[in-house]
Chains A and B, each alone.
Chain A
Amino acid sequence: MNRQMLDLWVGIFVVIGVVATVFLSLRVANLTTLQRGDVYEVNAEFDNIGGLKSRAPVKSAGVTVGRVSDIRYDGEQHKAVVTVTLDSQYQFSADSSMSILTSGLLGEQYVGLQTGSDTEMLQDGDLVWLTSSAIVLENLIGQVLFNKAGEKPAAAEK
């Protein structure tokens, strides 16, 4: 095995390995390359974020327009503060609303972003104040039972 053949085979090997890694990163995983300049950050306060996790997608009209970058608890307001990073090419009005939705019946939670009617757009660092918290299953069940209980006395009264 002379030197040139050796180097050739090693070169081929390294190329195949690197291509495999790149393939895994880009085509298999969802590596998105958003640069610093391409994004802007926006904050939102929620009463309950449910099972929302960091790096969950932010979708508007079903299309991913950004990611959740940070989730904190505000001790003074007693609310959850969520910071999202949005793609600069999409602009949303200053009175946009954010809600925490679930994909599918039992899927992962994500942030739904609905633009409003304001002529001014959201800027980097703005706060979104129209928020709708996640639906918590226990509260839902409690609500249904409460409604059911409310129906009975009304029926009894009839």
Chain B
Amino acid sequence: MIKRSFSTIAAILRHLGARVTRNLLNLGLAARFFVAIIASSAICLRRPSLVIKEVYFIGVLSLVIIIVPGLFVGLVLGLQMYDTLERFGSGDIVGMVVALALIRELGPVLSALLISSRAGSAVTAEIGLMKTTEQLTAMEMMAIQPISRVIAPRFWAGILSVPLLTSIFNVVGIFGGYIVAVLLLGVDMGTFWSQIEAAVDFRLDVVNGIIKSLFFGVAITFIAVFQGYHAAPTAEGVSLATTQTVVKSAFVVLGMDFVLTAFMFRGI
């Protein structure tokens, strides 16, 4: 009886150990891949048309999924915040609350999650499919490095697009708050904007928000290309890789958000 429980404990420990080693190996693989991408990025400067094409597919095609949800988030925030604030007679500062919430947290985080679920999964699927249909191998056999021709442009396009989309999300969200507060709930328009202007600080809030979105951009784009490049070359493999992109991006973005917020907003 004791022997049996020992062996089960041993099995559990072995299983855990295997998972830890597997994840560490994966991490090492990811680190090497990251360095390889950076090293192969010279082509993006020589042939910007490659990057521009990807900025279209990652950035421009994500505009809709950023603008519409952004507007709704702003509307809902305005509604919810006003309700609570009005209980303390402070309904007038709803603009400030909405703006701060968006610029500091919701803008970068929600944008990153939305972009990863639309553009990130698309990039993973595309690269995984290219791998499955041997297009990447064909490129290698033609003496062209897939990492520089296919991966690097998408990587840099993502890093460029995410902060821009985040800013658009923030602006649209604030306008959503404006619509609810001023047009629907009767907050004074002048009060709305002046409160925001008084409370939102450039360096503390806007710059930190941009820094966050840059970090998130690197994270979700890297995860997307990594999963696609290392997908198993089958239909199930690509499908698994695509879901993994969205899931892992969510974990990493939210985890990073905590760390970054702790660093940035410590002194307040």
Q: In the complex, what distance in Å separates the CA atom of A1 from the CA atom of B53?
A: 10
Contact A6 B56 (CB under 8 A): yes
How many Å from the CB of A104 to the closest CB on chain B? 11
Nearest chain B CB to A32's CB is how many angstroms away? 8
B197 touches which of A3, A6, A18, A28 (Cβ 8 Å): A28
Residue of B nearest to A54 (CB): B267
Query: Hey, which chain A residues are within 8 Å of B161, CB to CB?
Result: 13, 17
When distances are taken between beta carbons in the complex, the residues of chain A under 8 Å from B59 are: 10, 13, 17
A29 touches B210 (CB 8 A): no
Interface size of A as a range: 20 to 34
Closest A residue, CB atoms, query B164: A17
Provide the B153-196 mask, 1 if CB < 8 A to any CB of A, else 0.
00000001101110110110010000000000000000001001
B60 touches A13 (CB 8 A): yes
15 contacts between A and B (CB under 8 A): A7-B52, A9-B60, A10-B60, A13-B59, A13-B60, A17-B168, A20-B168, A21-B163, A24-B167, A24-B206, A25-B206, A27-B197, A29-B202, A29-B206, A30-B202
- The docked-state distance in angstroms from the alpha carbon of A28 to that of B63 is 22
Number of A-B contacts (CB under 8 A): 76
Q: A14 near B202 (CB under 8 angstroms)?
A: no
**Which residues of B lie under 8 Å from residue A16 when comparing CB positions?**
63, 164, 168
Q: Which secondary structure characterizes the binding site on chain A?
A: helix
Does any Cβ of A come within 8 Å of B92's Cβ?
A: no
Known A-B contacts A3-B49, A7-B52, A29-B197; the reply to A21 vs B210 at CB < 8 A is yes
Complex contacts, B97 vs chain A, CB 8 Å: none
Bound complex: CA A10 to CA B157 (Å):
11
CB of A155 closer than 8 Å to a CB of B: no
Q: Contact partner of B164 among A9, A20, A23, A25, CB < 8 A? A: A20
In B128-176, the 8 Å CB interface with A consists of: 160-161, 163-165, 167-168, 170-171, 174
Q: Is B105 an interface residue (CB 8 A)?
A: no
Residues facing A in B84-133 (CB within 8 A) are 99, 103
Binding site for B on A (CB under 8 A): 1, 3, 6-7, 9-10, 12-14, 16-18, 20-21, 23-25, 27-31, 55
- Interface size of B by Cβ–Cβ distance < 8 Å? 30
The answer to whether B164 touches A24 (Cβ under 8 A) is no
Contact check: which of B56, B160, B167 meets A21 at CB < 8 Å?
A: B167
Complex Cα gap A154–B171 (Å): 64
CA distance A10 to B164 in the complex (A): 12
Given contact pairs A3-B49, A29-B197, A29-B202, a sample of 17 additional A-B residue pairs in the complex whose CB atoms are under 8 Å apart: A9-B60, A10-B55, A10-B56, A10-B60, A13-B59, A14-B164, A16-B164, A17-B59, A18-B164, A21-B164, A24-B167, A28-B103, A28-B174, A28-B206, A29-B205, A30-B198, A30-B200
Residues of A within 8 A of B196 (CB): 28
Q: How far is the CA of A28 from the CA of B210 in the complex (A)?
A: 14
Chain B residue at smallest Cβ distance from A12: B60
Which residues of B, 54-70, contact A by the 8 Å Cβ criterion? Answer: 55-56, 59-60, 63
